[in-house]
């Protein structure tokens, strides 16, 4: 595998490992807890970021439709730590298999979506960027959960 794709997967793996750490040991009520108006629970964040990874890597970069229902990702509740960790692991496995099939020349290929036209390279980088952003949201949400009522 080309070093670019290896680096991409290593960064995605680190992101997923940090999400696993943020999930570890949280009770079910913490996973569904929403810290404030217009904010998301940890459960929603994990479900959404894995849906987005599949969309940008699969639907866009690989041209493999997933029939994603983005709106439904923001309504999930009651998914336990084990389910969310498996979803993360499955998402990583899909990304690893997909990147095995992509060449450096493929990165320049345009992809037309309902959201606009993007290159394969942009889609891959955006999937990583988006997951890292939500990792930060997850970590902050866990901190807020752990600090609630301490003031």
- pLDDT category of residue 148 using cuts at 50, 70 and 90: confident
User: What CA–CA distance (Å, rounded) separates 97 from 91?
Assistant: 10
Pick from 87, 19, 94, 15: which is nearest to 61 by CA? 94
Domain residue ranges in the chain: 3-147
Which pair of tokens denotes residue 26?
A: 């949280």
Fold of 3-147: 1.20.120
User: Quick one: DSSP state of residue 2?
Assistant: -
Those residues with Cβ within 8 angstroms of residue 144's Cβ, 6 or more apart along the chain or in another chain = 35
How large is the average pLDDT for residues 68-78? 97
Q: What is the pLDDT of residue 151?
A: 55
| pTM score, whole prediction | 0.95
How large is the average pLDDT for residues 55-67? 96
- pLDDT category of residue 58 using cuts at 50, 70 and 90: very high
């Amino acid at each position: 595998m080309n070093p670019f794709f290896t680096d991409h997967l290593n960064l995605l793996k680190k992101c997923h490992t940090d999400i696993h750490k943020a999930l570890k040991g949280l009770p079910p009520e913490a996973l569904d807890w929403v810290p404030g108006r217009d904010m998301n629970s940890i459960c929603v964040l994990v479900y959404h970021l894995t849906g987005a990874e599949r969309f940008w890597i699969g639907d866009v970069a690989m041209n493999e439709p997933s029939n994603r229902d983005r709106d439904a990702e923001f309504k999930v509740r009651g998914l336990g730590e084990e389910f969310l960790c498996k979803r993360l692991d499955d998402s990583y496995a899909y990304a690893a298999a997909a990147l095995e099939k992509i060449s450096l020349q493929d990165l320049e290929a345009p992809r037309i979506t309902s959201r606009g036209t993007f290159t394969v390279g942009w889609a891959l980088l955006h999937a990583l960027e988006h997951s890292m952003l939500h990792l930060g949201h997850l970590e902050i949400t866990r901190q807020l959960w752990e600090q609630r009522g301490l003031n």
